[in-house]
Amino acid sequence: MRSGLAAAGVLLGAAVLLAFGVGRFPVAPADVLRVLGDALGLGGATVPENVRNVVLHIRGPRIVAALAVGAALALAGATFQGLFRNPLVSPDILGASAGAALGAVLGIFFALPLVGIQAAAFAGGMLAVGAVVLVGSAVQAADRGDPVLVLLLTGLVLGALVGAGIGLVKVLADPYDQLPAMTFWLLGSLSGATARDLGPLLLPVLVGAGTLLALRHRLDALSLPDEEARALGLPTTALRLALIAAATLVTAASVALAGIVGWVGLVVPHLARFLVGPSFPRLLPVAALIGGGFLLLIDTLARTMAAVEVPLGLLTALVGTPFFIALLRRARRGWA
């Protein structure tokens, strides 16, 4: 595990230095380190004020947001894959992403300020998952089917319903003002991330990620059939609900700020699994580091590859689609 963490940490550090340094106003790595050292109270040589502003006030909040969103989506993806014992699920499996998207487009439709749009997105994600859990529990009580399969199918069905609601709001929106804003937000972007946005993002992400990391030792047992997990003395229902709530919390908070950023929660857990193996005590910390670095690199590419900013969702799809195709070929041979 130490070698995996070290490799992920080195890659993350390199991604951070690259993100701080490249852009329309390049900053040398030495100047980045001086500014960060001075901001942390470690001293260092003075740098021009414009360099300090670029590092701390323009790129800094966006880099922190990319690290938090990437780590959150990777943690949620690894957790859902373990809970559902399926390597092909992702953080939006319970409708969190779709619910947050519906809340956000409603906020844009009613001309709410940015904070209001984020609050609506967060509330939409939590309500969607709450509805999935309630409906799934009712169906399970009536039918007594496989609880994991019932919850999975309920999430897919309600996610489709929420998607129809998003389409309806887009049809009713002003095509010259609101519709472009909705479309761009749904494609995913961190271009509007500021220091004021970090609080509403970091607080729920820290709470949810802390819960997932604290319970990571139980995930290995929960990935077994429920009968075997209960035989080990685990309260499977309570643990499963706690993990679902924590993973949904970090997903909704991420979508509320960054929009729909697909593939991170699907691809990154498998990259971490290739590096440190399938055991969740090792997997989750490494997945968080790789997820943060991966999305930071994607965001850096999005803001530097063209004269206009490229949406994150397009770039993550370009990376995730070929990986997913390869994963489908491997899935027939089983997954450990």
Q: Give pLDDT, residue 150.
A: 77
Q: What is the pLDDT of residue 335?
A: 47
pLDDT at residue 331 above 60? no
Structure-model confidence comparison of residues 139 and 312, the more confident one: 312
Task: Inform me whether the pLDDT recorded for 332 exceeds 70.
Answer: no
| H/E segment holding residue 7 | helix 2-21
Closest CA to 201 of 309, 119, 290: 119
In this structure, of 1-5, 35-39, 186-190, 234-238, the range with the lowest mean pLDDT score is 1-5
Contact at 8 Å (CB) between 188 and 311?
yes
Q: Would you state the pLDDT for residue 164? A: 94
20's CB contacts (< 8 A; 6+ apart) are 27, 32, 36, 55, 59, 60, 63
pLDDT the model gives residue 37: 84
Helices (H) and strands (E) in the chain, counts: 15, 0
pLDDT recorded at residue 214: 94
Q: What is the pLDDT of residue 268?
A: 92
What average pLDDT does the segment 182-195 reach?
A: 88
Answer yes or no: is pLDDT of 284 > 50: yes
Lowest mean pLDDT among 200-204, 253-257, 280-284, 321-325: 321-325
**Is the predicted pLDDT of residue 304 greater than 80, yes or no?**
yes
Q: Are 7 and 275 in contact (CB under 8 A)?
A: yes
CATH of domain 2-331: 1.10.3470.10
Quick check: 148 pLDDT over 70?
Answer: no
The predicted model gives 53-60 an average pLDDT of: 91
For the chain, which residues make up each domain, given as ranges?
2-331
Residues 199-222 have a mean pLDDT of: 91
**Does pLDDT of 246 surpass 60?**
yes
DSSP symbols for 176-231: TTHHHHHHHHHH---TT--HHHHHHHHHHHHHHHHHHHHTHHHHHHHTS-HHHHHH
Calculate Rg over the CA atoms of the chain: 20
Distance CA 93, CA 265 (A): 10
Go through 65-91 and write b for each residue having 16 or more CB atoms within 10 A of its CB, e for each that does not: bbbbbbbbbbbbbbbbbbbbeebebbb
The DSSP symbol for 101 reads H
Whole-number percent of the chain with pLDDT over 70: 93
Question: What is residue 142's predicted lDDT score, i.e. its pLDDT?
Answer: 67
Backbone angles phi, psi at 136, to 5 degrees: -60, -40
For 243, the token pair is: 């993990």
Q: Which residue reads 């679902």 in tokens? A: 244
| Alpha-carbon gap, residue 76 to 18, rounded angstroms | 26
Mean pLDDT along residues 279-305: 93
Which amino acid would we find at residue 83? L
Distance, in Å, from the CA atom of 275 to the CA atom of 269, rounded to the nearest integer, reads 10
Residue 288 above 90 pLDDT?
yes
Between the alpha carbon of residue 61 and those of residues 24, 95, 292, the distances in Å are 17, 28, 14
If one compares 274 and 41, the residue with the highest pLDDT of the two is 274
Q: What is the mean pLDDT of the chain?
A: 85
Res. 228: pLDDT tops 80: no
* Calpha distance 137→96 (Å, rounded): 17
Higher pLDDT: 223 or 248? It is: 248
Mean pLDDT over 53-64 rounds to 93
Give the pLDDT score at 334.
Answer: 47
Residues 125, 315, 171: CA angle, nearest 5 degrees: 50
Count the Cβ atoms, other than its own, within 10 Å of residue 115.
12
Q: What is the pLDDT of residues 80-132, one digit of tens each?
A: 888 887 777 788 777 888 898 899 899 889 988 877 887 888 889 888 888 88
Region of residue 262 (left: phi > 0; alpha: psi -120 to 50; beta: else) = beta
What's the pLDDT at 145?
Answer: 62
Confidence check: pLDDT of 65 > 70:
yes
